[in-house]
Amino acid sequence: MVQELGLSSKFIPVARMSEQQTKAKRHRLVQVLIMMLVITTSIGINAYRIVQLQLVQGEYNRERAENNRIRLMPVAASRGTIYDRKGRILASNLLSRSVYLWPQEYSPAKWLEVAKELSPILDIPVTDIIDKLEASGYNSPIAVRITSNIDRSTFVALAEKAGETRGVEVRTENFRHYPHGSLAAHLIGYTGEATKEELIANPKYPMGMIVGKMGIERSANSELEGVWGNRLIEVDAKGNEIQELGVENPTAGKPVTLTIDLDLQKVAEKTLGNRRGAVVAINPRTGEVLAMASGPTFDPSLFTGQMTREKWQRLQGANKPFLNRALQGYPPGSTFKAVTSVAALQSGKYAPNSRVGTYNAVTIGGITFNEHSGGYGVIGFRDALAYSSNTFFYQVGVKVGPEQISKWGRDLGIGGSIDLKLLGLDGNHGQIPTPKEKQEMYGESWHIADIVTMGIGQGLVLVTPLESAVMVGAIANGGYRVQPHLLASQTNTAATKSIKTGLKSSTISTVREGLIDVVRKGTARRLNDGKIPLSGGKTGTVELPGQPDNAMYIGFAPAYNPEIAVAVAVEGGGYGSVGAAPIAKAIFDTYFGNKGK
């Protein structure tokens, strides 16, 4: 019994030890299995990630890694300088700072966050920033210009952000500078970034290419733009430049010289002032445009920086500052009597010495048409022009007919005979419709009042100030219609060769002497003050229903060897002798005052 108890007491601990060892082994096995599962899972995840990075997204990530190290940076070319005829600068370049973003640096969602941070600093809507990024594509390896010509305070505010945020870069580059502000804005135009359509049409253009949008900046863009270069640089993870790997230098744009005289342009704009209207001065022998002012105007420098909604709305005001009124049709009023005179004398129905009775009023087709200040008796063409007799030209216009007036008006430069494409400006032609054309244009039949009013430059007749200058220049220069142009390189070329109108010498002499008599003894006597050579001209006062009269003037000087022809239109200016003729006088004063200096 004792022995049995002894055996039991000896072997029980052994059994218990075996059971504990089994549990320990099981625990260690579980630990090993868990560890192996963790290791296997980790290896699997890493293997999956490697496959994803190397195989699925391999090309993209290799490209991105390379772009984080090497960047291709376009180098803007300096646009060519624009000069006036005497070599004075009208448009040039200055250094400025522009803000660029590198699209590949972030996801679209992250860029949205960055754009919200940049928006108040740059004063640019978030949508504008995102639109530019999306236009280039978030995978684009080329930086995108967000804004240019930022001021110092913006630069300081942005400097910290650029240092903290990858993909934001401030570069120094040229921006367009107009030293005379708004002067000649409708002629020079302005610049801006190439649109998507322009980039597609010109594959050589890089993103952010600056092109002309209006005026000479646009029409001579191929000469002015130059060729952009490139820099291949190595950068660190923060985008800081480490070294330059290669460079392709840009080619600067070519300079362009205009026919414009800066002094005449200044005087034209100053005397026009804040009034709506236009002033044109040309060389009546060559067609060179010496001055072309349109009011109100705008400052092209507004487009060198960010165009905000507020700026744009100011430019869309009721006065339409973008509208070039020098190329918009106006009823010419009595200035058109020169055309009616030419048509009458060329038609053979009147001779240079023909005389017509004038009255307080005449009745034509049952309608009474009044003289503006009483009749002048029986007079000829010279006195009819000098005193601007309405009843004289009512009768002459009816006898000559609309077809002859329209024909000779076109031959003298009105209604489409000027090539505006050569001029390089947006605008319209005037009109002198015949009965057939009136039916086509307005769907209305011809009325006797149409020809009566046509004779004195009202009714259906519209003439642009540029056309008026060409018209009076053709009478002054002996019967040649010039082609107005703005580029000095076009002067005396086949493209600007004057066209002989076929005016008889007797017609030229009669009408020209009548226009000189306007200055000698007629409605423009204030121009005959002895300070400038004797000139010829014609005033016009255009009546508009429910509105103040427009003031018009056309003129040329000197009287017998003309060097300059002028046309002036002032909306709401009143009498032509008061509202328009003084502007022409100021231009003549400046032209002849500067002559020989």
Out of 202, 236, 257, a domain closes at 257
Distance from C-alpha of 239 to C-alpha of 104, rounded to nearest angstrom: 12
Give percent of the chain above pLDDT 70. 87
**What is the extent of the structural domain holding 126?**
70-257
Q: Are residues 252 and 331 in the same domain?
A: no
- Specify the pLDDT at position 558: 98
Q: Are residues 223 and 279 in the same domain?
A: no
Q: Do residues 106 and 114 touch, judged by C-beta distance below 8 A?
A: yes
- Which of 545 and 490 is assigned the larger pLDDT? 490
Distance from C-alpha of 279 to C-alpha of 588, rounded to nearest angstrom: 13
Assessment of whether the complete model's pTM goes beyond 0.95 = no
Site of tokens 């020809």? 451
In this structure, what is the dihedral angle of CA atoms 145, 150, 152, 153, given to the nearest 10 degrees? Answer: -100
Q: Are residues 106 and 162 in the same domain?
A: yes
Domain count, the chain: 2
Read off the pLDDT band of 10 (50, 70, 90): very low
- Specify the pLDDT at position 5: 42
Q: How many angstroms separate the Cα of 163 from the Cα of each of 160, 166, 170, 210?
A: 5, 8, 10, 27
Q: Are residues 330 and 467 in the same domain?
A: yes
- Specify the pLDDT at position 196: 85
Site of tokens 């009143």? 574
Structure tokens at 163: 């240092």
Read off the pLDDT band of 346 (50, 70, 90): very high
Q: How many angstroms separate the Cα of 369 from the Cα of each of 356, 373, 388, 435, 446?
A: 16, 12, 15, 21, 18
What residues contact residue 592 under an 8 Å CB cut-off, 6+ apart? 532, 533, 557
CATH number (domain holding residue 556): 3.40.710.10
Q: Are residues 338 and 224 in the same domain?
A: no
Tell me the average pLDDT across 236-256: 79
Residue 497 lies in a domain: yes
Residue 306 lies in a domain: no
Cα angle vertex 372, ends 397, 358, to 5°?
55
Residue 327 pLDDT exceeds 70:
yes
Quote the strand ranges of 240-324, DSSP E. Answer: 241-248, 256-257, 277-282, 289-295
- Specify the pLDDT at position 239: 62
Tell me the average pLDDT across 331-337: 98
DSSP codes, 221-254: HHHHS-B-EEEEEEE-TT--EEEEEEEE--BPPP
Q: How many angstroms separate the Cα of 436 from the Cα of each of 91, 410, 433, 440?
A: 47, 16, 8, 6
Distance from C-alpha of 373 to C-alpha of 376, rounded to nearest angstrom: 9
Closest CA to 405 of 446, 443, 435, 444: 435
Residue 437 lies in a domain: yes
Q: Are residues 130 and 269 in the same domain?
A: no
CATH number (domain holding residue 247): 3.90.1310.10
Residue 35 lies in a domain: no
Q: Are residues 74 and 165 in the same domain?
A: yes
Tell me the average pLDDT across 496-514: 97
Quote the strand ranges of 269-360, DSSP E. Answer: 277-282, 289-295, 355-358
Q: Are residues 108 and 248 in the same domain?
A: yes
Mean of the per-residue pLDDT values of the chain: 88
Give the DSSP H or E segment for 367: strand 367-370
Q: Are residues 171 and 272 in the same domain?
A: no
Q: Are residues 228 and 283 in the same domain?
A: no
- Specify the pLDDT at position 9: 46
Give percent of the chain above pLDDT 90. 61
Residue 282 lies in a domain: yes
Q: Are residues 505 and 563 in the same domain?
A: yes
Structure tokens at 178: 């107009």
Tell me the average pLDDT across 566-592: 97
Tell me the average pLDDT across 44-69: 58
Q: How many angstroms separate the Cα of 256 from the Cα of each of 16, 83, 260, 487?
A: 107, 6, 12, 7
Tell me the average pLDDT across 441-464: 96
Residue 398 pLDDT exceeds 50:
yes
Tell me the average pLDDT across 465-470: 98
Q: Do residues 490 and 482 touch, judged by C-beta distance below 8 A?
A: no
Residue 230 lies in a domain: yes
Structure tokens at 236: 């660190």
Residue 167 lies in a domain: yes
Residue 182 lies in a domain: yes
Q: Are residues 225 and 360 in the same domain?
A: no
